[in-house]
Chains A and B, each alone.
Chain A
Amino acid sequence: MITVTIDGKKPPITYPKIKTVLQLLNNLHLRVNDALIIRDGELLTPDRHLWPGDQVTVRMVVSRG
C-alpha cells in the first residue's frame, strides 16, 4: 500500500498496486513535468520504484495566479 498526498489535501489517497512513479503519474493523469514527486525529502524521477509503506507527496508545479 502506497500513501499519496497531493498538495497537502486530506485525506491522502492510497494505492495498493502501484509500483513506479510513472504508474502513479499515469494514474493521476499527470505528465512527467507537471508535478514534483517527493519521498522522504527526495525528488523521484518517473522510473523510480515505489514500495509498500511508502509515503509520497505530489506537488503540482503550476502556479495558481
Chain B
Amino acid sequence: MKCKRCGELAAVKLPSHHAGFCPTCFEGFFKKQVETAVRRHGMIGRDEKVLVAVSGGKDSLALMRVLTDLGHVVEGLHVHLGIPDSSDPVAERTRAFCAANGLTLHVLHTAEHGLAVPDVKDAVRRPVCAVCGKIKRHYFNRFAYENGFAALATGHNLDDETARLFANVLRWDPAYLGTQGPTLPGEGKFVRKIKPLYRLTEFETAAYCFLKGIDHWKAACPYSGGASFTGHKKLIADLEDRSPGQKTAFYEAFLAQGRPHFAGASRGEGQDTLYACAQCGFPSSGEVCGVCRVREQVAAHKARREAV
C-alpha cells in the first residue's frame, strides 16, 4: 500500500479516512487533525498557556508532544497518587520523557494533601476509581487555575469520546449530553477543559507514539477494574469495521445536531447551583466539596485506626 500524499510505502492504513500514510505524512495528518480540533472548537487562544493532564499513558504524552510541536505554550501536570509499586515508576517514566523532550512537568503528590489513594481506598465505601477520578480532576483544575493556565487539556481520543457519548445516549442523560464535547468553557474557578485529540483514534495515537519514539507507561493501575466502556468500544469498533467513518460521523453529528437540544439541561434537584467550598474555595454543590469531604474521611479513618 502506498502513501496517499507522497506515494512512498505506507506504514499506517486508516480505513476510516480511506487512506494510507508513510511515517512523515502520517505525522502531518496527525498534527492537522489536532490543529483542526483546536481551531474549530476555540480551544486555545493566542498566547494562552495550556496545562496538560499527564497520566503517563500514550494519549497524554502524545498530546504534550503534538501541542508543543504546533507552537503552543504547554506545561504538564502529573498527579502522583501514592500507590505502591505503581505511582513511583509512572512518575519516573513521565519525568524522563518530559526531560528528554524539553517539556516542563510539575508533579503533585496527593499524599501531601492528605489524599494518598491507598488511604482513600481504605476510608471510603464507594469504588476507589470514582473517588480517585474526582481527586485528580480537582487538582488538575485547581493547579491550572492557581497558576494562570487558560485551559486544561486532557488526552481523550475519539474512541473515548464516542464510547462516552454512546453511554450517555443509552441513558438519555440530558445534563451529560448538554456538556459533552471537545471544549467545555471555563467559568468562575473552573478553567476551560479541552480535548485536542478528540478527532484521533486510539490506533492513530498509538501509531504516532510508536513513530515518534514516545515510550509510554503500559502497565495498568493495580486498582483498575479494567478500562472504562470496553464493551461500548467494542460495539462501536464493529460498526466502524463494517462502515468506516461511522465513529467520526456519530460524534460530529452529535455536536452539530444533537447537543444544542440539551444545552443548559439541569443536573438534577439542588445540583445546579455551585457554592465556594468552605474549606478549599473551589466550586461545590454543597457546603464542603467532595474532595475535602474525602480528606476528612481519610483523616477520621486514620485516627480511628491509630486509636485501636
Residue pair A42, B237 in contact (C-beta under 8 Å) = no
Interface of A is mostly: loop
Q: Using A42-B11, A45-B13, A46-B13 as known contacts, say yes or no to A31 and B241 having CB atoms under 8 A apart.
A: yes
Number of B positions contacting A (CB below 8 A): 34
Known contacts A63-B57, A63-B58, A63-B59; is A43 also within 8 Å of B203 by CB?
A: no
Give the chain A neighbours of B20 by CB distance below 8 A.
45
In the complex, which residue of chain A has the Cβ closest to the Cβ of B14? A33
CB-based contact B237/A34 at 8 Å: yes
User: Known contacts being A34-B237, A42-B11, A46-B13, is A65 close to B206, with CB within 8 Å?
Assistant: no
Question: For residue B23, which residues in chain A have a CB less than 8 angstroms away from its CB?
Answer: 43
- How many interface residues does A have (CB within 8 Å)? 20
Assess the B11–A45 pair: CB atoms within 8 A.
yes
Contact of A33 among B203, B211, B221 (CB under 8 A): B203
Task: Determine whether the beta carbon of B220 is less than 8 Å from that of A65.
Answer: yes
Smallest beta-carbon distance A15→chain B, Å:
21
The verdict on B207 contacting chain A, using a C-beta distance below 8 Å, is yes
Measured between alpha carbons, how far is A65 from B241 in the docked complex, in Å?
23
Contact string, A34-45, partner B, CB cutoff 8 A, digits 1/0?
101010001111
Residues of A near any B CB (own CB < 8 A): 7, 31-34, 36, 38, 42-48, 59, 61-65
